[in-house]
Structure 1
């Protein structure tokens, strides 16, 4: 039996906020509470209100505001010597770093957040931080090292009856199965996640699960219209809650469905829309995937193969130092499928995978 979904990142005076609260409402109420906490002089209250402000801004794609907010929350938590609040602030910072494509920084912040959550006795802060580390590894394509952590976190969430975290873990494991071709297993896990999310009223988790189901149906060549219906249901949730990033990924998946069913003009239009959305929120992974889909659509619409190959090589080079191995492999596959296009003379070999060294002043923790 799962409890009704809740949002542990909405803390202090904001615990009454629902996991399904509009992000615009969260930002407004969080900012109001933050100002009140600043007037009262309570560093702990400032940290917890600032966390909600940081998360609302991050999910709305307001990167600079989110970056300032999580760092301010961490400083206040440190002033209050509140390890739990410090852990949550670093969790927010690590999640933002991952969203921005700064994966080594994300791992460091999330690792420190998990340690603080453990020391502070905050089971959820520890769990969410470990989940962030697992998701970072999954995005990098390092499935071997993070699959066991995903399974561990799923077991812990099931034992607690914590619906939202169970849904997250199921979706993460399902995505790895989908990416490695185990479509039946992936579909079953996405459907289980959707059922738990519906029962627990976790609308955000439901939107991501619907996207996953649509993806598997589409990639198996089945029921494209059903896949589009599921994406429309998910899009309505994203718009209602103003889930900017989730909405962009929903649009990218809609374009994928169009592409796989041979509707290349529609795919091109929606890839262009998703690309603009990802670039607007400075989310490099989503932008790279949308650009790849756009280039493949243009190629199917008759664009010069040599131009397409040159653009694909350029995209591959931009991915060289990001750690997004799965995305880079997808570019390689697209190049291999493009006939008669040797690598342009001007294209240098992709650099060896390297990890960006984050500025030590950018904060410690997710």
Structure 2
């Protein structure tokens, strides 16, 4: 299988950048490339939007994808328009605006199909699938995940294979099919490593650590997360790093190490706030509440915080997370 590619780096940027390029390098080369032509302006704007999104610079990412879309529209390039909308939809999901994410991603898929850009269509559909998955709508998106995995395997697109495997594995993990989830996370980690996809490898290691932890392998899980953390830091993957730290909290919580878990969740919470990612922020808050409950915080205080979190998850549209709140509150009942 070929090395992982980054199709969001298009035109001349495609040969100048790799999936593991630093975001500082992406921003520098893309800004320079914007001077070339209208279409190159659109393509470079996409790269700038994605680099800023992954660094948590929401306003800069929003400006860049919109400028990319407008330039692509003036150039009459449906594919470039689709990629810009994909970036906008991905940013909207990251910011917890899930209905808007579905709107932009659906429009991206339609434009990509009209323009004959198979990869852009696949990424847009993947974005829709992931949006449904993080909401907990597994029945609605499982088939789409499987379809996208089959397409990625057919074309040998390592990065997309890794994404699809991780998404399907997460659904299996959340429904208790741990053997299947572990096998798929491990396959994703191996493919990502062989394809030199550092970001995909870090996310896959996080998934492996999660399942290993559920089965009692605390030490192994923390080692895996430390390995993934080093990748996140070296590539400045701020969002992935925050989710890594939240997972460290999960692992420590399951092991009954509540004070350490509280510290990990608190750190993750600050990181999510810094990059303005409300989903991760709310999940970290849930971890903090659960840890404090186990350390003896008053039930009335914990109950009030859980009520607030349930309303937050309901507002964002995170059905699975809301169910976790309800399950924990039910477990507190005498």
Q: Say whether residues 1:78 and 2:73 are aligned partners.
A: yes
Q: Which blocks of at least 5 consecutive residues in structure 1 are unaligned?
A: 341-366
Q: Which residue of structure 2 aligns with residue 179 of structure 1?
A: 174
Superposed displacement of residue 33, structure 1: 2.2
Q: Which residue of structure 2 aligns with residue 33 of structure 1?
A: 33
Q: Which residue of structure 1 aligns with residue 89 of structure 2?
A: 94
Distance in 1 of aligned mates of 2:113 and 2:314: 35
Superposed displacement of residue 319, structure 1: 2.0
Q: Say whether residues 1:261 and 2:255 are aligned partners.
A: yes
Q: Which residue of structure 1 aligns with residue 64 of structure 2?
A: 69
User: Are the equivalent residues in 2 in contact too, given 1:23–1:243 (CA < 8 A)?
Assistant: no
Distance in 1 of aligned mates of 2:25 and 2:275: 20
Cα deviation 1:43-89 (Å, max 9, x = unaligned):
11110000000000000000111011000000000000000100000
Q: Which residue of structure 2 aligns with residue 144 of structure 1?
A: 139
Superposed displacement of residue 28, structure 1: 2.3
Q: Which residue of structure 2 aligns with residue 231 of structure 1?
A: 225
Q: Say whether residues 1:281 and 2:275 are aligned partners.
A: yes
Superposed displacement of residue 103, structure 1: 0.7
Distance in 2 of aligned mates of 1:219 and 1:225: 12
Q: Say whether residues 1:245 and 2:244 are aligned partners.
A: no
Superposed displacement of residue 108, structure 1: 1.1
User: Are the equivalent residues in 2 in contact too, given 1:224–1:257 (CA < 8 A)?
Assistant: yes
Distance in 2 of aligned mates of 1:124 and 1:309: 46
1:275 aligned counterpart, secondary structure: helix
RMSD: 0.9
User: Are the equivalent residues in 2 in contact too, given 1:70–1:93 (CA < 8 A)?
Assistant: yes
Q: Which residue of structure 2 aligns with residue 363 of structure 1?
A: none
Q: Which residue of structure 1 aligns with residue 19 of structure 2?
A: 19
Q: Which residue of structure 2 aligns with residue 110 of structure 1?
A: 105
Q: Which blocks of at least 5 consecutive residues in structure 2 are unaligned?
A: none
Distance in 2 of aligned mates of 1:73 and 1:207: 29
Superposed displacement of residue 296, structure 1: 0.6
Distance in 2 of aligned mates of 1:199 and 1:138: 27
Q: Which residue of structure 2 aligns with residue 203 of structure 1?
A: 198
Cα deviation 1:91-110 (Å, max 9, x = unaligned):
00000000011111111111
Which structure's residues are more often helix, by fraction? 2
Distance in 1 of aligned mates of 2:212 and 2:262: 20
User: Are the equivalent residues in 2 in contact too, given 1:235–1:247 (CA < 8 A)?
Assistant: yes
Count how many residue pairs are aligned between Structure 1 and Structure 2.
Answer: 333
User: Which consecutive segments of 4 or more residues in structure 1 shift more than 3 A?
Assistant: none
2:6 aligned counterpart, secondary structure: coil
Distance in 1 of aligned mates of 2:282 and 2:296: 21
Q: Say whether residues 1:45 and 2:40 are aligned partners.
A: yes
User: Are the equivalent residues in 2 in contact too, given 1:219–1:260 (CA < 8 A)?
Assistant: yes
Superposed displacement of residue 32, structure 1: 2.6
User: Are the equivalent residues in 2 in contact too, given 1:24–1:242 (CA < 8 A)?
Assistant: no
Distance in 1 of aligned mates of 2:25 and 2:328: 42
Instruction: Tell me the TM-score normalized by structure 2.
Output: 0.98
